[in-house]
Amino acid sequence: MSLKTLPLLFINLGGEMMYILDQRLRAQNIPTEKSKKVLNDIVATMFNKRFMEELFKPQTLYSKKAMRTVFDRLAHASIMRLNAASMDKLYDLMTMAFKYQVSLALRPKDILLITLNHMDTMRSYVEDSAGVRSQVEHVYRMLAETYASLSQGEFQLIRQTLLNFFQDMHIRVSIFLKDKVQNNNGRFVLKIGGTLPYGTESPGLIRSFDASGKSRNIAFAPGANYTVSGREGSFDQRGDRITKLGCNMYSSSRPVETSGPSISKSVMQGSDMDTSNPDPLAKAHLDLLSRLIGANVTKNEFRLNLFKDDKEEDEAASIQPIEVAESQVVNIDASKGGKTSELAKIMGEMSVGDKGGGGGDDSDLLDLMDS
């Protein structure tokens, strides 16, 4: 497991959250002034200097439950409010989008380019706010300092850590289904052919060498058409990232739907969360985030709906969570004992509505639709 994965997971999930909120704010005709305030407030809280410095310290990933709680708090950092069903759907879309991007990255290092695509769009949301823009630019520098010198092997470990985090998450998303990049069981389609990673040759040739060093070439049919990458994406603050992974895939003309066992309802059960050995860094980060958000509390709040209408949202909220069979869950306690459940306690204080959870059974489908 890589100890440098958490900042990339947080920033990319945050970027996907901003894309979805921006689309829904426009779809519901929220006044421009209020929409800008929501986006500015969330980016300002997300990229708070103290919070980022804590986040970039080498550490293990949060549990799924802790990560879900962080984004619930972050989504409510401004005057916008989401009910539990809309927050569940928001988190489902965020996680599946980034999982798709990590799965399709041509090489492990491209995860940094995906992150920069998210950063570029979030910076565009706050161009009119010099203070918030400077916070975003500070994170660009932190990303360069932390990841620019990593080897391909270290990026591969980061990618593996991310994929382990997303394991068993199979929510169906309408955009992916319509583009035929996701199957009905929620798993992504990884097609052969297409663009090759930068710095690699097109397959179709085997080179062998004898004892004297003389080479012999054997050609074969690769079974698909491949295109060699002409240049590498830019890792500078401003530049062409080449890859489109991490760009905003939402628009008012492309409705978003999800269906499948809800990630949010699964992670709130917390089967992956060792409450006897809480992560003190996760607790500290949640405490800090709560204080930062508390400073932004204001009047003139409004509710945002991620569903077609209130009736559909109420129906989604009324769906009973799928219980996890005890025989399907193995809890391993590697703690040394004697520790209090600090993270479990703070989760209770920052409750986002524990609803139990599904165990990833693809036959149990939760159909959530958007306009």
pLDDT, one tens digit per residue, over 90-123 is 999 999 999 999 999 999 999 999 999 999 999 9
Higher-pLDDT residue of 45 and 271 is: 45
pTM: 0.74
Nearest Cα to Cα of residue 135 among 118, 119, 115: 119
Contacts of 59 (CB under 8 A, 6+ apart): 3, 6, 279, 281
Residue 330: pLDDT over 50: no
pLDDT tier, 363 (very low <50, low <70, confident <90, very high otherwise): very low
Percent of the chain with pLDDT over 70: 68
Q: Is residue 199 within 8 Å of 95, Cβ to Cβ? A: no
Label residue 269 by pLDDT band (50, 70, 90): very low
Alpha carbons 64 and 47: distance in angstroms, whole number: 21
Tokens of 225: 């058409």
Instruction: Say how many C-beta atoms besides its own lie within 10 A of residue 347's C-beta.
Output: 25
Q: What is the predicted pLDDT for the residue at 361?
A: 35
CA–CA gap between residue 351 and residue 67 (Å, rounded) = 13
What is the predicted pLDDT for the residue at 327? 37
Q: For residue 191, name the pLDDT band (cuts at 50, 70, 90).
A: confident
Which stretches within 5-78 are classed as H helix?
Answer: 6-27, 32-46, 49-55, 64-75
Burial 270-288 (b: 16+ CB within 10 A, else e): bbbbbbbbbbebbbebbee
> Could you report the per-residue pLDDT of 138-156, keeping only the tens digit for each?
999 999 999 999 999 999 9
Query: Quick one: pLDDT at residue 285?
Result: 58
Q: Could you tell me if 304 and 89 are in contact, meaning their C-beta atoms sit under 8 angstroms apart? A: no
- For the record, the structure tokens of 241 come out as 């990232």
pLDDT in the model for residue 291? 56
CA 288 to CA 271: how far, in whole Å?
A: 25
- Mean residue pLDDT of the chain comes to 77
